[in-house]
Structure 1
Amino acid sequence: MSRSLKKGPFVDEKLLAKIAKLRRGDKTVVKTWSRASQIAPEMVGFTIGVHNGKVHLPVYVVENMVGHRLGEFAPTRKFLRHGGKMQKELEQGAPAVAAAPATPAPAASAKKES
């Protein structure tokens, strides 16, 4: 369910104040824990460090991101892989086989003289 239009979008006031102090194109990363804040047009061009529960991930805001939440661009879970020990052995063995070709490529032939 989306937020009521009469309330307007939620944007953290402290975050907007920090961004207002910076100049356009400034490379400073603004740290925030407010993952629920919507990206406002004033944030375009700035880098915001969004907390994912462990570290602040830098998110460079572009025009297409306006209206989305900051938390959408900082995943909180890290996908390792499925399969366990047997899958790991298969993955380690596959690159070695692929690296060595079975038959050498034919050498380029010289031009025929007539």
Structure 2
Amino acid sequence: MSRSLKKGLFVHPSILKKISAMNASGKKTPIKTWSRSSIITDEMIGHTFQVHNGKTFKDVYVIENMVGHKLGEFSPTRTFRGHGGKMAKDQAAAAAAAGKAAVAKAQADTK
């Protein structure tokens, strides 16, 4: 369910203060934040944020397409290690070998 329009957008006050200070001075240093729930607004375009993902800070450079999304969406908290194990690797190797054989056969047929 989306947020009610009468409540307005949530942006942490410290982020707004830092952005306005940077816009006044013209500096573009990264802004470190733990506020993953802050919504990206127009004033944030062109700034770099260091968003905490639970372990480290990930750099997020804000562009126009990100407006309306939350900062946390661009700093993943989990890493995908992949499905399967040895069996999946064996199947992938077999498929690659079959693909190479098919290409070699097709090239031989064209000659």
Q: Distance in 2 between matches of 1:20 and 1:46?
A: 11
- TM-score of the two chains, using structure 1 as the length reference: 0.73
Map of 1:58 onto structure 2: 59
Q: How many residues align?
A: 102
Structure 2: runs of 5 or more not aligned: none
1:92 to partner: Cα distance: 7.1
Aligned to 1:31: 32
In structure 2, relative to structure 1, the CA distance for the partners of 1:91 and 1:55 (3 Å cut) is farther
The alignment status of 1:11 with 2:11, answered yes or no, reads: yes
**Residue type at the aligned position of 1:42:** E
Q: Helix, strand or coil: the match of 1:48?
A: strand
Q: Which runs of 4+ in 1 moved over 6 A?
A: none
Q: Which amino acid aligns with 1:73?
A: F
Higher Cα Rg: structure 1 or 2? 1
Unaligned ranges ≥5, structure 1: 106-114
Partner amino acid, structure 2, of 1:10: F
Give the letter aligned to residue 38 of structure 2. Answer: S
Distance in 1 separating the partners of 2:65 and 2:9: 17
Between the aligned partners of 2:58 and 2:77, the Cα distance in structure 1 is 10
Is the Cα–Cα contact under 8 Å of residues 26 and 46 in structure 1 kept in the other structure?
Answer: no
Percentage of pairs with the same residue: 57
Instruction: Give, as a single letter, the amino acid of the residue that structure 2 aligns with 1:84.
Output: G
* 3-state SS in 2 of match to 1:68: coil
Scaled by the length of structure 2, the TM-score of the pair is 0.75
Q: Secondary structure at the match of 2:79?
A: coil
